[in-house]
Amino acid sequence: MTTTVVAATPPVTRRVRAYFAPVNRAAATPSIFDAAQTGAFSLDAPPAPWVDLGWCTGFTRKSGTKVAVVQLGSPAITQSQMRTEVEATVSLQFESWGKLQLALAAGSQQMNLLQTATGAAANGSGGIAATAAPLTPDGTSTATRLSVGAAAATAFSAGDLVAVDVDYSGQTGFVGSGVSAAYVRSSSAVGGDANYVRRVSLNVGRVVAVNEGSIQLAAPLPAGVPTTAMKVSALAGFVDREGGSFFQEWSALFVMQGEQGDRVIFHYPRLQAMQGSAEVVETLVAPLEQMRLAGAFRALPVKDANDGEMVLCFRSYLPGAMRAV
């Protein structure tokens, strides 16, 4: 029996799905995606450590790479070419709002509005935070259940948002469990605030139940099982600022699923935010308007282990079944 090979066609797609993964900023190690091994993953179940950030619109990638020529002779004749500058940028709009989408579109630190202490002075990114609840030292906490003891648990209710991370204790450099959320130059720069790491941490969750001294979360914490050194702070929401010196950096995948079974994947191992926080407003049915988070990123290079070349992006094409190639 012979199977027929059908003609190759251009990919026909509807939307772009975005997935991001942390970059180890201290070690300068991005998350690498191998399309040869896992390129056919289910769009609803990306392989670890990739996090699904949903559909996005307005996906635009631009190559700023410049090519110059070497000319010799009279009249001058082009003899060879060289790349004089390699650059790439990506811009998009997220179709949903969440902590990670906000962080990516913030440009700089994306902060948590921690519950303030009684009488705290007003501050744009949140006043002095209330005392955090320590996890019990018995190691019974999990990525979805936080053991804080019966007394501390009474301060939390189903529906609360919480940040789970360590105290700030004078450390400098990148801070935040699971994801580098900010860079601390000195203790004095953050006022020695014991809650600073929880203020910037991306290790947040939604409380769905409180019982028997434990807090149940709706989804696993991004940083996984918390250590007993971590504490829990309630928060009201999130805030980011125009300005700041920190650059968000993430590894990213953008997947276009073809209608004929093919797939195009753009893998940027290192993307840094290249603009401040921005939104795009779209009229649904007047006067209702929808706001989309707008992000723009500049690609940074990594070395391809196959040949040592420095590259910014990997574009993979997985042809549909029995398509000619």
For the chain, domain boundaries: 13-105+247-318, 109-241
Sign of the dihedral through C-alpha 135, 188, 161, 157? positive
Q: How confident is the model at residue 137 (pLDDT cuts 50, 70, 90)?
A: very high
Tell whether the model's pLDDT for residue 1 goes beyond 80.
no
User: Could you tell me if 274 and 296 are in contact, meaning their C-beta atoms sit under 8 angstroms apart?
Assistant: yes
pTM of the model: 0.91
C-alpha to C-alpha distances, 141 to 16, 135, 138, 157, 291, nearest whole angstrom: 37, 7, 8, 17, 37
**Residues 6+ away with beta carbon under 8 Å from 256:** 11, 13, 15, 16, 17, 263, 264, 265
Position 243: which residue type? Answer: G
Q: What is the CB-side half-sphere exposure of residue 278 using CA atoms within 13 A?
A: 13
Q: Say what the pLDDT of residue 6 is.
A: 85
Q: Say what the pLDDT of residue 9 is.
A: 85
Across residues 200-215, what is the average pLDDT?
96
Three-state SS at 119: coil
User: Could you tell me if 48 and 57 are in contact, meaning their C-beta atoms sit under 8 angstroms apart?
Assistant: no
For 134, the enclosing helix (H) or strand (E) is strand 133-134
Condensed to tens digits (0 to 9), the pLDDT of residues 235-252 reads: 999 999 998 899 999 999
Q: How confident is the model at residue 269 (pLDDT cuts 50, 70, 90)?
A: very high
Q: Say what the pLDDT of residue 323 is.
A: 87
**Residue written as token pair 């027929």:** 4
Share of the chain above pLDDT 70, in %: 100
Across residues 257-285, what is the average pLDDT?
94
Condensed to tens digits (0 to 9), the pLDDT of residues 138-189 reads: 999 999 999 999 999 999 999 999 999 999 999 999 999 999 999 999 999 9
Spatial distance between the Cα atoms of 64 and 86, rounded to a whole number of angstroms: 6
DSSP character string of 99-111: HHHHHHHHSS-EE
Q: Say what the pLDDT of residue 170 is.
A: 96
Phi, psi angles (nearest 5°) of residue 35: -65, -20
Share of the chain above pLDDT 90, in %: 91
* More confident position, 26 or 163: 163
Find, among 298, 182, 179, 195, the residue nearest to 245 by Cα.
182
Tell whether the model's pLDDT for residue 2 goes beyond 80.
no
C-alpha to C-alpha distances, 148 to 67, 70, 162, 212, nearest whole angstrom: 60, 68, 13, 9
Spatial distance between the Cα atoms of 55 and 86, rounded to a whole number of angstroms: 28
Condensed to tens digits (0 to 9), the pLDDT of residues 66-117 reads: 999 999 999 999 999 999 999 999 999 999 999 999 999 998 999 999 999 9
Spatial distance between the Cα atoms of 198 and 167, rounded to a whole number of angstroms: 7
Q: Say what the pLDDT of residue 3 is.
A: 80
Q: Which two tokens stand for residue 59?
A: 């996906």
Q: Is 85 exposed, middle or buried (0-12, 13-18, 19+ CB in 10 A)?
A: exposed
Spatial distance between the Cα atoms of 237 and 88, rounded to a whole number of angstroms: 33
Spatial distance between the Cα atoms of 145 and 205, rounded to a whole number of angstroms: 10
Q: Say what the pLDDT of residue 322 is.
A: 87
Q: Which two tokens stand for residue 20?
A: 């991001």
